[in-house]
Amino acid sequence: MSDPFRKYDGLSYREIRWRLWRSDMPDVMIEQTIEALREHRRMRTKAKAQMRERDKQWGEIIQSLQ
């Protein structure tokens, strides 16, 4: 799965907003992009937490079998 927001990783919403504004993007599009980015980051955080929990649970099973 490609990440359409990879170029914004490590940037704050303020910095992203400023970059989009400087590229002459309309305000409505900027707000839509920021909202989509927030949802994407929320889902990515949730997926990472689920993966961490799954790895922990499998680690406990594997450790007990060794």
pLDDT exceeds cutoff 70 at 1: no
Do the Cβ atoms of 9 and 30 come closer than 8 Å?
Answer: no
Assigned token pair, 37: 């980015």
pTM (2 d.p.): 0.78
**pLDDT for the residue 65:** 86
**pLDDT for the residue 12:** 95
**pLDDT for the residue 3:** 81
pLDDT digits (tens, 9 = 90+) for 6-51: 999 999 999 999 999 999 999 999 999 999 999 999 999 999 999 9
Concatenating the DSSP letter of every residue in 1-66 gives ---TTGGGTT--HHHHHHHHHHTT--HHHHHHHHHHHHHHHHHHHHHHHHHHHHHHHHHHHHHHH-
**pLDDT for the residue 64:** 86
